[in-house]
Amino acid sequence: MGMNIIPMARPQMGPEELELVASALASGQLAQGERVRQFEDQFAEFVGAPHAVATSSGTTAIHLALLALGIGPGDEVITVAFTFVASATPILHVGARPIFVDVEPRTYAMDPEQLERAITDRTRAIMPVSLYGQPANMPAILEIAERHGLAVIEDACQAHGAELAGRRSGSWGLGVFSFYPTKNMTSGEGGMVTTSDGKIADTVRLLREHGMKVRYHHDLLGYNFRMTDIHASIGLAQLKKLPAANERRRAIAARYTEELVGVLPPDERPGAKPVYHQYTLRVRRRDEFTDGLQARGVGSSVYYPIPVHRQKPFLDIESARVSLPVTERLVEEILSLPVHPSLTDDEVGQVVSATNATAAELGPWVAE
Ligand SMILES: Cc1ncc(COP(=O)(O)O)c(C=O)c1O
């Protein structure tokens, strides 16, 4: 059948990306070099963080942030299970214990009250996730962290340019970002650690490159988690387009929230400017809802159907044997609609009418 389905993402590569990649290739400098440094400087400035260190992915950014904080066996890191698995797998890789707390039902982010109750004398760090492009409650989380002397890593892998109280995601404590192709901006693959702490930034740089500051002198056990100049070139071009792309995402989201009927839209945190990496509803009868959208030419997706504490690598982890009622309910009800900036106004209209028709057919959302 020939119907075109409106897709969940459409990465936009234009002449700016092509030109920068071509000049990187022509220069012969392919691995980490000047382009990576430029990308780090411009990204740090954009976020409002004094330091940014580029990595090979968001996952390796999280891994290095944990290592730079000295987190390892015997330590606990408090995070959420309502996220992509890679928020938590690096906690296992460094040998620490993930402690999962529940999320707020309308912003989908870490519940600060649950956080406070989960702190023990083994807690070393807190990792809230600014999921779908909406900042977690960073002021409340920082206040708790300061009171207990804990580090904070904001997983901002989906929150490039998101703001809360006039500050951008990644400027509170440590921030970690992903530049995977479907993100609000991409480098192909890539990641970034942002921080105001120059010592942490130095340690991340060392760990990223075999513990090496002076060529072939290895000061600590490191990795090759570098970004290439080819990927940084894509990232530089994409960073320039990010503010306009985020504004377009916000405008589409505003129209959805205004016009959708019979579903539960996401809440905006007071004082926040989310960048809508995803626009995520709660619906009844989700499988049928997905089919109803598909039949009307609209793609949709579930991010993510299984919470992290129920994923196979975590089933043998004692600290992951917890019950998280909000998380466990949300994973049954959430559904993300296309919200990427290349949607035309007609496509946005089609998403609205398909969603409203499907909700009317299946019965409206009702609060319990
Ligand atoms: C919330 C979150 N954390 C971590 C990651 C890991 O990033 P990457 O895929 O670049 O390794 C992603 C993205 O995939 C993500 O969405």
Asked if 105 contacts 330 with a C-beta cutoff of 8 angstroms, the reply is: yes
User: Would you state the structure tokens that stand for residue 329, as one six-digit string?
Assistant: 């309910």
pLDDT tier, 3 (very low <50, low <70, confident <90, very high otherwise):
confident
- Average pLDDT of 11-38? 96
pLDDT value of position 145: 98
Ligand 1 centroid distance, CA of 177 (Å): 7
Each residue's pLDDT tens digit, 193-205: 999 999 999 999 9
Residue of 79, 84, 275 to mutate, ligand 1, most atoms within 8 A of C-beta: 84
Residue 167 CA to residue 27 CA, distance in Å, equals: 37
DSSP designation for 185: S
Which atom of ligand 1 approaches the CA of 191 most closely? 10
User: Would you state the structure tokens that stand for residue 63, as one six-digit string?
Assistant: 């891994």
pLDDT of 319 over the 60 cut: yes
User: Would you state the structure tokens that stand for residue 340, as one six-digit string?
Assistant: 């990427």
pLDDT value of position 368: 64
The dihedral over CA atoms of 281, 286, 292, 296, expressed in degrees to the nearest 10, equals 30
3-state secondary structure of 360: helix
pLDDT tier, 80 (very low <50, low <70, confident <90, very high otherwise):
very high
pLDDT of 97 over the 70 cut: yes
Ligand 1 centroid distance, CA of 346 (Å): 31
pLDDT value of position 365: 86
Asked if 131 contacts 108 with a C-beta cutoff of 8 angstroms, the reply is: yes
Residue at token pair 């009250």: 113
pTM of the model: 0.97
Ligand 1 centroid distance, CA of 59 (Å): 6
pLDDT value of position 2: 55
Q: What percent of the chain has pLDDT over 70?
A: 99
pLDDT of 1 over the 80 cut: no
Which atom of ligand 1 approaches the CA of 83 most closely? 1
Residues within 6 Å of ligand 1 by CB: 57-59, 83-84, 86-87, 129, 155, 157-158, 178, 180, 191
Nearest C-alpha to atom 3 of ligand 1 is from which residue?
87
Each residue's pLDDT tens digit, 206-238: 999 999 999 999 999 999 999 999 999 999 999
Ligand 1 centroid distance, CA of 63 (Å): 12
Each residue's pLDDT tens digit, 309-318: 999 999 999 9
Residue of 8, 59, 225 to mutate, ligand 1, most atoms within 8 A of C-beta: 59
Each residue's pLDDT tens digit, 247-288: 999 999 999 999 999 999 999 999 999 999 999 999 989 999
**In terms of DSSP H, where are the helices of 94-153?**
112-118, 138-148
Ligand 1 centroid distance, CA of 48 (Å): 21
Q: Annotate 181-199 with b (16+ C-beta within 10 A) or e (fewer).
A: eebbbbbbbbbbbbbbbee
What is the DSSP track for 202-229? HHHHHHHBTTBSSTT-B-S---B-PPPH
Asked if 96 contacts 77 with a C-beta cutoff of 8 angstroms, the reply is: yes
